[in-house]
A and B are shown apart, each in its own frame.
Chain A
């Protein structure tokens, strides 16, 4: 139960949101698949931004160490906040790209 409790919470609130949306717009489930696909794209972009951030951090770390100006710990590049920031980067980038495509 300990392992799956949060899944139960998420399932219940997702069901609630789904029912609410279905009452407001009865045919809205048609667009659910497209929304899921776009969410997967955002997740994929998050990985791309995260890896780019980590790689940039590693390069800056090595450059700083080689220059002997300062010392940067490599662990700074794997800070957990980088995942959240990468997600924000991905969402903004995705919206920006979609807006650009719609404007054409």
Chain B
């Protein structure tokens, strides 16, 4: 067939086109409609504050010289609960040095600056939520402190609560919104959607793996 073009049929573009269409429609639904805001309301566990024996603040990462926004939000919420006299002790989690920045130590410094006495601060490690549940249990159960106010992100609460209850704690959820939940700007809605998709996938994996 010299001088003429051989027509080669393209293989099944419909699958990739269908996926592409789903992506575009999903993007518009998440960025330009209130869908993620509504999903958020259906996704989160309600706050249940009450008197407890400890406030446990889960880690959320730190860079070399400062706490991430999520880590800061959780720490401040835990400190506020302490000042409301809902528990006598605050457990501040964060990976130990060697596994990243000293998040727990940076949070402890913040807590002291905001008026929490040294003897009310407990530092604990843990790189995953499961490790944090074990670390908290090791530090609190020996003093009979098993009723806790658990401070973590509102989307993360379901998994964290399940792991801490499985460890033996009686958990009162004290969730923190870590992304704008009522935002109208597309960027805010996409951040909310990303958080929901991330945690939704994690829940599914936990269920399939039999972790919870």
- Do A and B belong to a common assembly? yes
Q: Does B17 contact A (CB under 8 A)?
A: yes
> CA A46 – CA B22 in complex, angstroms?
12
Tell me the nearest residue of chain B to A37, going by C-beta. B17
Distance (whole angstroms) from the CB of A32 to the closest CB of chain B: 15
B83 at the interface (CB under 8 A from A): no
Would you call B32 an interface residue if the criterion is a C-beta within 8 Å of the partner chain's C-beta atoms? yes
| Contact B20–A41 (Cβ < 8 Å) | yes
- Whether B185 is near chain A, meaning CB under 8 Å from some CB there, is yes
B198: Cβ under 8 A from any A Cβ: yes
The docked-state distance in angstroms from the alpha carbon of A2 to that of B22 is 25
Instruction: Identify whether the interface residues of B are mostly helix, strand, loop, or mixed.
Output: helix
Interface of A, helix, strand, loop or mixed by DSSP: helix
- Which residues between 72 and 102 of chain A lie within 8 Å of chain B, taking CB atoms? 73, 78, 80, 101
Chain A residues within an 8 Å CB radius of B194: 80
Question: Which among B6-14, B107-115, B135-143, B159-167 touches the partner chain?
Answer: B6-14
Bound complex: CA A44 to CA B21 (Å): 7
Instruction: Let me know if A71 is at the binding interface, CB within 8 A.
Output: yes
Q: Assess whether B210 is interfacial by the CB under 8 Å rule.
A: no
Tell me if B8 and A3 are in contact (CB < 8 A).
Answer: no
Q: Do B32 and A40 touch across chains, with their CB atoms under 8 A apart? A: no
Number of A-B contacts (CB under 8 A): 57
Q: What residues of chain A lie closer than 8 Å to B21, measured between beta carbons?
A: 40, 43-44
Interface size on B, residues (CB 8 A): 23
Flag whether B23 is at the interface (Cβ < 8 A). yes
Instruction: Please report which residues of chain B, range 158-209, place their CB below 8 angstroms from some CB of chain A when the two chains form the complex.
Output: 184-186, 189, 194, 198
Pairwise interchain contact A44-B127, C-beta atoms closer than 8 A: no
Question: Would you call A44 and B15 a contact (CB within 8 A)?
Answer: yes
In the complex, the answer to whether A42 meets B186 with C-beta atoms within 8 Å is no
**Which residues of chain A are within 8 angstroms of B16 by Cβ–Cβ distance?**
40-41, 44-45, 48
Report the count of interface residues on A (CB-CB < 8 A). Answer: 22
Q: Which residue of A lies closest to B26 (CB)?
A: A47
- Residues in B with CB closer than 8 Å to A17 are none
Q: In the complex the two chains form, is A3's CB within 8 Å of B20's CB?
A: no
B24 touching A104 by the CB < 8 A rule? no
Docked-complex contact A7 and B19, CB < 8 angstroms: no
B→A interface (CB under 8 Å) = 6, 8, 10, 13, 15-24, 32, 99, 127, 184-186, 189, 194, 198
A-B residue pairs in contact (CB < 8 Å), sample of 24: A2-B184, A2-B185, A3-B32, A3-B186, A3-B189, A6-B186, A37-B13, A41-B13, A41-B16, A41-B20, A43-B19, A43-B23, A44-B15, A44-B16, A44-B18, A44-B19, A44-B23, A46-B20, A46-B23, A47-B19, A47-B23, A48-B16, A71-B99, A101-B8
